[in-house]
Amino acid sequence: MIEIENDADYQAYRRRLFDFLWHEVEPLAGEIERGGEFPRDKLFPRFREFGLWGLLIPRRHGGLGLTTKQYLPILAEFSKVAGTVRVLLHVHNTSARAVAAYGSAAQKEALLPALARGDSSLTFAITEPNSGSGMDVACRAQRDGDEWCVNGTKHYITNAEFADLHLVCCRTGAPGGSDGSGDRRDRRALSALIIPTDAPGFTIEPMPRLMGNNGPYHGILHFEDARVAAASMIGGEGDGLEIFLGELEPSRAFVAASSLGAAERALEIALDFAKRRVTFGKRIAARPSVQAELAEMARDVYALRLILEDVAGKIDRGEDCALEASIAKLSGLETVMRVTDKALDVVGGRAYFSDYPYPLERIYREARINLAEEGTPSIQRLVMARALLELPAPLAIGTLGAPYQPAGTDPALGQNVPPDLSYAHDPEMPD
Ligand SMILES: Cc1cc2nc3c(=O)[nH]c(=O)nc-3n(C[C@H](O)[C@H](O)[C@H](O)COP(=O)(O)OP(=O)(O)OC[C@H]3O[C@@H](n4cnc5c(N)ncnc54)[C@H](O)[C@@H]3O)c2cc1C
C-alpha cells in the first residue's frame, strides 16, 4: 500500500519508481517497440505495485491521488524510458480522471477501485473516421427504455486491445442539434457513455502498426445497435462536451510533459555523444557549432519545464487554463521536434540506427505522436486564439506578479485616446 501524505513520501516514491523504470522498463523498451508485443504478464502487475493505474484517482477510491505537479514528472519519466508505456498509462489515467471528476457517487464506487488496481481499464474515444475530434461527432446514442442504443464508429483508440471499458463521445441530441435547430455545433448535443467491450453489438478491429509507441494495438470501435444500460452515462445527457473538453484541457499539459521527457532524453544523449566523439583530434563538444546546438536544446527544455510548472499550478488550483494548457501542448510539440532534430544532427549517422547505442531514433519517432494527441497544432492555435480574445485586459500571461493597470491608463494605448480606425475599413470589403 503506497501512502503519499507529504513531500518526503512523494520524493521517496518517485525515487523508487524511477529505479524501477530505468532498471526494469527501459531495457525492454526497444524490443517492445520493435515487436509490438507488450509484456503484459510481466509489467502490468509491477505497474500495480507502483500504483501506476491510479495515479490520478483519489485515495478514497484506491488511487494515489497525485496532484498535477506530482504527476507531470512521472509522465515525463515514462516518456524518457519508453514511449509506449507513457501512452498506455497516460490514456488510462486521463480516462480514470474523467470518471473521478464527472461520475456519480455510485459510478465512482463501482469503477474507480478496479481502475486504480488495473483490473479494469477505460479508453477515451472521441475521434471518428468521418468527422474530426470535436463537435461534429456522428456516433449516435438513442434512448430505448432503460438502455442506450449506440451506432457509429470511433478510430485510433489507444488501449483498445486490452481495455474492458470505453468512454465514448456520442451524439444524443436530435440530428443536427438537441433542439432540432439543425445546428451541428449545439453544445448540449453530446453525451459521455461508458460502454463495456462485451456489450452486444460492439466489436473492435485492430489498427495497423504505428510510426512509434508500438505495443498494445490501437482499435477501431464499431457500434451496431450496441446496447448499454441508461446508468452508463457519465454526467447528464448533454454534458459530453463539457466532460471531454474538461479532460482534454489538463491532458494537453500531460502530453506536453511527455514532450519534456523525450526532449530531455534527447539532450542527454546529444551531450553524452558530444563529450565522447572525437573527430580531427578534438571532441566534437569543443566545436562552436555543436555547442550552439546543445545550448539551444537546453534553452528549449528549460523553457518548457517552466511553462509546465506554471500550468500544473493552475490546474491544481482549479483555475481555468485553456490558453495555458494549449500553449504548453504546442510549445511541448515544437520543443520536442526541434530538440530531437538537433540531437539527431549532433549524433550524426549513428543516430539513424536503432540502439547504436542510443535509442534516439525510437525517441524521435515516439515523440511525433504528440502532433496528434489531444488536438493538432492548428486546433491548439484555435483554442489559444479564442481564449486570448476573451481575456480581460491587462493580460496576466506575461505579467510577473499580479496584473495591475493604473487608473486612467490602458495596456495597449497608455494615456493615448483610442484612435478612430474606421479609415482602415474598406466599405467594399466584407467583414
Ligand atoms: C497514435 C494515435 C493515438 C490516438 N489515440 C486516440 C484516442 O485514444 N482517442 C481518441 O479519441 N483519439 C485518438 N487519437 C486521435 C487524435 O486525437 C487525432 O488524430 C487528432 O485529433 C487529429 O484528428 P484527425 O487525425 O482526424 O485529423 P484531421 O481532423 O483529419 O486533420 C488533418 C489536418 O487538418 C487540420 N484540420 C482539421 N480540422 C481543422 C480545422 N477546423 N481548422 C484548421 N485545421 C484543421 C488538422 O490540424 C490536421 O493538420 C489518436 C491519434 C493517434 C495518431
How many Å lie between the centroid of ligand 1 and the Cα of residue 227?
Answer: 27
Q: CB–CB of 182/167 below 8 Å?
A: no
Q: Is residue 412 part of a domain?
A: no
Residues 249 and 364 reside in one and the same domain = yes
Q: Is residue 327 part of a domain?
A: yes
The atom number, within ligand 1, closest to the CA of 123 reads: 8
Q: Is residue 55 part of a domain?
A: yes
Domain count, the chain: 3
- What confidence score (pLDDT) does residue 187 get? 80
Residues 56 and 134 reside in one and the same domain = no
Residues 192 and 117 reside in one and the same domain = no
Q: Is 87 in the pocket of ligand 1 (CB under 6 A)?
A: no
How many Å lie between the centroid of ligand 1 and the Cα of residue 245?
Answer: 14
Q: Is residue 177 part of a domain?
A: yes
Residues 251 and 198 reside in one and the same domain = no
- What confidence score (pLDDT) does residue 105 get? 97
Residues 128 and 114 reside in one and the same domain = no
Residues 225 and 180 reside in one and the same domain = yes
Q: What is the pLDDT of residues 291-319, one digit of tens each?
A: 999 999 999 999 999 999 999 999 999 99
Q: What is the pLDDT along the chain (431 residues), one digit of tens a residue?
A: 899 999 999 999 999 999 999 999 999 999 999 998 999 999 999 999 999 999 999 999 999 999 999 999 999 999 999 999 999 999 999 999 999 999 999 999 999 999 999 999 999 999 999 876 567 899 999 999 999 999 999 999 999 999 999 999 999 986 555 555 555 567 889 999 999 999 999 999 999 999 999 999 999 999 999 999 999 999 999 999 999 999 999 999 999 999 999 999 999 999 999 999 999 999 999 999 999 999 999 999 999 999 999 999 999 999 999 999 999 999 999 999 999 999 999 999 999 999 999 999 999 999 999 999 999 999 999 999 999 999 999 998 999 999 999 999 999 999 999 988 887 666 666 55
Q: Is residue 401 part of a domain?
A: no
Residues 257 and 370 reside in one and the same domain = yes
Label the pairing between strands 147-157 and 219-229. Answer: antiparallel
Ligand 1 mutation target, pool 127, 210, 258, most atoms within 8 A of CB: 127
Whose C-alpha lies nearest to ligand 1, atom 30? 132
Q: Is 91 in the pocket of ligand 1 (CB under 6 A)?
A: yes
Residues 333 and 197 reside in one and the same domain = no
Q: Is 335 in the pocket of ligand 1 (CB under 6 A)?
A: no
How many Å lie between the centroid of ligand 1 and the Cα of residue 203?
Answer: 22
Q: Is residue 378 part of a domain?
A: yes
DSSP 305-348: HHHHHHHHHHHHTT---HHHHHHHHHHHHHHHHHHHHHHHHHHG
What CATH number is given to the structural domain containing 193?
A: 2.40.110.10
Q: Is residue 343 part of a domain?
A: yes
How many Å lie between the centroid of ligand 1 and the Cα of residue 365?
Answer: 17
Residues 108 and 14 reside in one and the same domain = yes
Residues 276 and 143 reside in one and the same domain = no
The amino acid occupying position 183 is D
How many Å lie between the centroid of ligand 1 and the Cα of residue 65?
Answer: 30
Q: Is residue 86 part of a domain?
A: yes
Residues 291 and 234 reside in one and the same domain = no
How many Å lie between the centroid of ligand 1 and the Cα of residue 126?
Answer: 10
> For residues 189, 250, 234 and 3, what is the CA-based torsion angle, rounded to 10 degrees?
180
Q: Output DSSP code: residue 127.
A: -
Residues 283 and 302 reside in one and the same domain = yes
Q: Is 132 in the pocket of ligand 1 (CB under 6 A)?
A: yes
Q: Of 121, 150, 185, at which residue does a domain stop?
A: 121
Closest CA to 89 of 107, 103, 77, 101: 77
- What confidence score (pLDDT) does residue 176 get? 54
Closest CA to 95 of 149, 6, 157: 157
Predicted TM-score (pTM) of this structure: 0.94
Domain residues for 178?
123-239
What CATH number is given to the structural domain containing 304?
A: 1.20.140.10
